[in-house]
Structure 1
């Protein structure tokens, strides 16, 4: 059976993507028009098959290859081969190494006190601002997320004394934006308005590499104080080359500083528009924490409603709105036959808004993630961190960071929409807000 989809276009699909306002919105339109499986043209892949049904996704969950052309924009960050498209045989041990660092509770606990201090510093600053003054969440929370992951990557001691504390988080974030904007623009053939964009991207890339080299060197000077709870220590212990260590740190900083910051930003945005849910989060924090201003690691498991709110936020605004794999052999997908070498596209946002599994899908409702509701849905109906052997290795760490930051901020502060500010999601490597997320901030009354 032929897979439905739009007519072939001579521009490779660029015009359709642009007209929709980005690839993330184009996917919603395609699946709304053609159903759960769609054939379409994708820049970097002449033909792709997009799957928005979680049951059908199960047939693709084993795929362990990524289409190289779609991830070529990351080539400049990597000197030892693009980490996002490593062959399956090389990728599997590298993934196990990363999981040993990012997914382990001992590592999370070792860094938790420093994470807490950084989150409290931001809460202190916002609490000290004029009552009701708007703040720009994405910028501030992305910088905070970068500081969190820098410490985790560079500071094996967990005390904030290693090189991670020396990183200029704002400059690193800006440098990543320069590089990604330039290379994503090349992929999607975006017209250049800035004649210095390419030159600035190269300067930014050189700065990023020099920064990583500096902290790796400082890390080497701290021998004996590191371990497998810190990324560089684990990579050194595994015998990875200096180039692979640098590449891994670069890609980790890129992924982590975007995703956690925007996830927390979207969550606060949604709570600002749903005061009943915000009240319930505040009440849960007051009950669990009492007069403490921050949770300890064990407290996170005692905040189920906060966890439900975060999950519902990432359903509505998944930080990474899509992914892709490549078939290495013929694949049966429901009534369709997918030949080897096909790009299988994962439209995570469309999956999360599939009305068959999410009634009234655009409505914010954290109760969707009550245990009974979750058990009644297919496993892949909710995939904010991807699918299968190429899913995000940092998912557990990102969740801990997001829960902690939300708990610290919402225990002390109340967020509301900034008057006259419109929040519009756009595709910018992650699901970003085009003009930022500006919100008013007010101190909460002491609870106990």
Structure 2
């Protein structure tokens, strides 16, 4: 059976994506018009097949190849091969090593105190400027998440963490500016020189941290660089891994927290329930301990519902290496299979009134009634996000620290519009008024 979809266009689909306001919106429109499986032109991949039904997605969950052309823009960040498109036999052991650190409780506990201090410092700053107008949530929260992941990836051993943050922002601004054709100050030659200097600085910083680990006796396997050193990874691969970890974790946690606060500001009754739970679990303490996170069950549901409505990464992609049966359709080898996470999360068959913010969708009995892949904020299969567990801990911690102290309300007249900038960003940030909670 022929897969439905729009007629091919001479521009390769660029115009259709632009007219929709971005690929994230285009996916919603395509699936609303053509159904759960759609054939469409994807800029950079010619023709792709997008799958928004969680049952059908199961047939693709084993795919372990990413389309190289879609990830070419990240290649300059890596010295030992683009980590986003490593062959399966090389990717699998690298992934196992990352999961042994990123998904492990010892690693989370080791860094939790420092994460808490960073989140508290931001809360203190906001408390000191409460009368200065709305706060730009995404700007401040993505800066916080970058500082947190710098601490994590470099083990707190970077001599100048602010310098690392500044250098990485320089690199990210340049590469995302190229990808999304966003204007960046300076001529191309000036930008390239700045980016090369920033990359060299970051790699030299990682080398110093690696040298400190090698001279300090047995490596701590709950530390990312320590685990890579202990596994015998070569220096270039260690540098690449740190760079990709910074890239993957920089925006995602901050974006997830900011969208959650945006939703709570628009649904104050839900915010009050979160505050009541925090008071009940934490008592007079201003911050949670690591063990407290498991007791913040309603906060967890709120975060999950927020990531359903605004998944930090709105889509993913794989490539078939052999013919694939997908329901009534036959997908030939070499096809780009597109995972439209946002469209999956808005599928009304599994999410009644999908645009409503209803944290109770994540009660255990509700989760049990849905297919496994109806909720996929961190992707699926062997190329899903290795840092999902760490990102969840960070987001829960930051939300707990902020919501214990503050109320968040939308800034009057400020319009929040989702746009795709590697993550699901807000076009003009998310500006909110922040005020102390009466009980705080």
TM range (shorter): over 0.9
**TM-score of the aligned structures, taking structure 1 as reference length:** 0.94
CA separation of 1:3 and 1:439: change in aligned 2, threshold 3 A = same
TM-superposed deviation, 1:215: 3.9
CA separation of 1:211 and 1:365: change in aligned 2, threshold 3 A = same
TM-superposed deviation, 1:219: 4.4
Q: What is the aligned partner in structure 1 of residue 187 from structure 2?
A: 196
CA separation of 1:198 and 1:27: change in aligned 2, threshold 3 A = farther
TM-superposed deviation, 1:402: 0.2
TM-superposed deviation, 1:262: 0.3
Q: What is the aligned partner in structure 2 of residue 110 from structure 1?
A: 110
Q: What is the aligned partner in structure 2 of residue 213 from structure 1?
A: 204
2:51 and 2:338 in contact (8 A); partners too: yes
CA separation of 1:164 and 1:293: change in aligned 2, threshold 3 A = farther
Q: What is the aligned partner in structure 2 of residue 29 from structure 1?
A: 29
Q: Which runs of 5+ in 2 are unaligned?
A: none
Tell me, in whole angstroms, the C-alpha distance in 2 between the residues paired with 1:76 and 1:440: 40
Q: 2:175 aligns with which of 155, 177, 180?
A: 180
Residues 298-338 of structure 1: CA deviation (Å, up to 9, x unaligned): 00000000000000000000000000000111100000000
Moved more, 411-420 or 224-233: 224-233
TM-superposed deviation, 1:60: 0.2
Aligned positions of 1:13-28 closer than 5 A: 13-28=13-28
Q: What is the aligned partner in structure 1 of residue 283 from structure 2?
A: 290
Q: 1:390 aligns with which of 383, 404, 407?
A: 383
Q: What is the aligned partner in structure 2 of residue 417 from structure 1?
A: 410
1:416 and 1:441 in contact (8 A); partners too: yes
Q: Which runs of 5+ in 1 are unaligned?
A: none
Tell me, in whole angstroms, the C-alpha distance in 1 between the residues paired with 2:318 and 2:17: 20
Q: What is the aligned partner in structure 1 of residue 336 from structure 2?
A: 343
**TM-score of the aligned structures, taking structure 2 as reference length:** 0.96
Q: What is the aligned partner in structure 2 of residue 355 from structure 1?
A: 348
1:77 and 1:205 in contact (8 A); partners too: no
SS class of match (2:433): strand
TM-superposed deviation, 1:6: 0.4
1:147 and 1:164 in contact (8 A); partners too: no
Q: For the aligned residues, what is the CA RMSD?
A: 1.7
TM-superposed deviation, 1:172: 3.6
Establish whether residue 167 from structure 1 lines up as the match of residue 158 from structure 2. no
SS class of match (1:130): coil
1:413 and 1:443 in contact (8 A); partners too: yes
2:249 and 2:391 in contact (8 A); partners too: yes
Q: How many residues align?
A: 438
CA separation of 1:317 and 1:172: change in aligned 2, threshold 3 A = farther
TM-superposed deviation, 1:389: 0.3
CA separation of 1:443 and 1:169: change in aligned 2, threshold 3 A = farther
Tell me, in whole angstroms, the C-alpha distance in 1 between the residues paired with 2:411 and 2:127: 16
2:305 and 2:359 in contact (8 A); partners too: yes
